[in-house]
Amino acid sequence: MARAVTNRRKTINTIAAWTIGLLIFFPILWIIVLSFKSEGDAIKTPLQVLGSAWTLESYFVVQERSDYFKHFFNSVTIAVGSTLLGILIAVPAAWSMAFVPSKRTRDILMWMLSTKMLPAVGVLYPIYLLFIRLGLLDTTFGLVIVLMLINLPIIVWMLYTYFREIPGEILEAARMDGANLRAELLYVLTPMAVPGIASTILLNVILAWNEAFWTLNLTAAKAAPLTAFIASYSSPEGLFYAKLSAASVMAIAPILIMGWFSQKQLVRGLTFGAVK
């Protein structure tokens, strides 16, 4: 039986939750406001800011002066590239672990997870050195490889937890009907695995998009994605609030929208299935 909830209590809950929610969201809301102001207006008091004229100027300036879209496309290349490459490598591995488990499957999974715990700074110089030697420094290709490797354990794990939920009986039934391995993969498993693969892609694009250790340390002007481009505002000259706001809004908007769609997968992916 559902507990009776008075309208009064619901109202109090609503007010409290919305107040806190808006408070937490406020910094993002505020840079959205500032991004539509002129530089001169953006540094005024909050009330004056709200009262001043709205303009798209900053968005144009950011693009003209710093070639925003080059960095945007670097981010897209790195995030999408590393994720797809990771999926390509992880799907077979996760599939075999979920459907043909052996005694060692559990150990392999745990070991993969342990590689994720390796602190990046501990291997910073070796990677840096390898990048110089292999000519990968400041290339998007190099970052695609590194981000694929750091996210591979999460990709394998997420896919594994999704694949394990596909009932094995279906496979047996398919085999009884004479399906071979190829048919089994193509017509039985793939359709059932697509939602899990899609969520995995979504979460990993988000993680790779926001990764800010390797992207900061392994890029310069050429391959810098948005994380590094935004960091160039840490010692700016002159007025820059509106420009920084516009650049930030453009950098976080796509991922914010994707993130809102991936709330559930976020929990599963980031806790390695420990909390569902």
Partner 1 sequence: MATQHSRSAARLMMAPAVILLLGWMLIPLTMTLYFSFKKYLPLRGGDLGWVGFDNYVRFVSSSSFWPAVATTLIIVGGVLFITLILGVLLALLLDQPMWGQGVVRILVIAPFFVMPTVSGLVWKNMFMDSNNGFLAHLWRAFGAEPVQWLSQASLPSLIMIISWQWLPFATLILLTAIQSLDSEQLEASEMDGANWLNRFGFIILPHLARAITVVVLIQTIFLLSIFAEIFVTTAGAFGTKTLTYLIYQRVLESQNVGLGSAGGVYAIILANIVAIFLMRIVGKNLDA
What would the two tokens of residue 56 be? 């798209």
Task: Considering only the stretches 43-51, 52-60, 136-144, 188-196, report the one whose residues sit in contact with partner 1 under the rule CB under 8 A.
Answer: 43-51
Burial status of residue 224 (CB atoms within 10 A of its CB: 0-12, 13-18, 19 or more): buried
DSSP assigned state of 275: -
- CB-CB contact of 156 with 200 (8 Å): no
DSSP 165: T
Alpha helix segments (H runs only) across the chain:
7-35, 39-42, 46-51, 57-66, 68-99, 105-116, 124-133, 140-164, 168-176, 181-183, 190-210, 214-217, 226-231, 241-261, 263-270
CB of 183 to partner 1, least distance (A): 14
Q: Does 109 bind partner 1 (CB under 8 A)?
A: yes
Q: For residues 65 and 234, which CB has a smaller minimum distance to partner 1 in the complex?
A: 234
Among 56, 108, 186, 198, binds partner 1 (CB under 8 A): 108
Binding mask 222-241 for partner 1 (x = CB under 8 A): ----xxx-xx-xx-----xx
Minimum Å gap between C-beta 196 and partner 1 is: 17
- Which residue stretch of 60-68, 135-143, 187-195, 254-262 sits at the interface with partner 1 (rule: CB under 8 A)? 254-262
Q: How many residues bind partner 1 (CB under 8 A)?
A: 96
Spell out the long-range contacts of 259-268 with Cβ–Cβ below 8 A and sequence spacing 24 or more: 259/206, 261/202, 262/199, 262/202, 262/203, 262/206, 264/199, 265/158, 265/199, 265/200, 265/202, 265/203, 266/203, 268/158, 268/161, 268/199
Q: Which stretch binds partner 1 (CB under 8 A): 54-62, 133-141, 192-200, 243-251?
A: 243-251
Interface of this chain with partner 1, residues 63 to 92, rule: CB under 8 A: 89-90, 92
Subset of 120-179 contacting partner 1 (CB under 8 A): 120-130, 149, 152-153, 156
Among 50, 54, 60, 102, binds partner 1 (CB under 8 A): 102
Residue list 176-215, contact with partner 1 (CB under 8 A) = 181, 206, 209-210, 212-213
Q: Which stretch binds partner 1 (CB under 8 A): 24-32, 58-66, 134-142, 194-202?
A: 24-32
